[in-house]
Amino acid sequence: MPRNKSVVAIAKGDDPEKLVAEVFSLLGGVENLVKPRSTVVLKPNAGHPAGAETSVNTSPAFAAAVIREVKKAKPKEIIVAEAAAIGCDSLHVLDVSGIGAAAEAEGARLIDIKREKDLIKIPIRDAHSDLKSVKLPRFLLEAEHLF
């Protein structure tokens, strides 16, 4: 796949397992996307405390299907990381949404990005404002894969 263009795969249906497997297959297979013994960070959409039936957040079944597919590549670790909306506690949102339980059942570690204290200061290239750097969590910068 060319590195200078974004590649997108779309699958339609209602079976999360089949959809996730199809999308990874269209992208060349999970084993070609994820290096063995690597750290994989998955960032679902979990911004507000709402149950799976509301469609506000990523479906827990879909999150679990992605984790199971990624596990086929034999990563060292899978992290599900979230920074919920302002005023919302990320771990609470993951709990209420069902994503937290689904992720933990599949052996993934949960991280609230907003609570991270191990930050690395990164300069902003060609900054056009007074903001010349940002502090990002070390685990995000050191992970081999971000999905």
**Distance between CA atoms of residues 112 and 83, nearest Å:** 6
pLDDT tens-digit map of 38-61: 999 999 999 999 998 898 999 999
What's residue 22's pLDDT?
Answer: 97
Q: What is the mean pLDDT of residues 69-74?
A: 98
Q: What is the mean pLDDT of residues 95-102?
A: 98
Query: Is the separation of the CB atoms in 47 and 93 below 8 Å?
Result: yes
Beta-carbon neighbour count of residue 66 at 10 Å? 27
Smallest CA-to-CA distance from 146 within 1, 23, 32, 33 is with: 33
Q: What is the mean pLDDT of residues 114-134?
A: 95
User: Is the pLDDT higher at 55 or at 133?
Assistant: 133
What is the total residue count of the chain?
147
What's residue 3's pLDDT?
Answer: 65
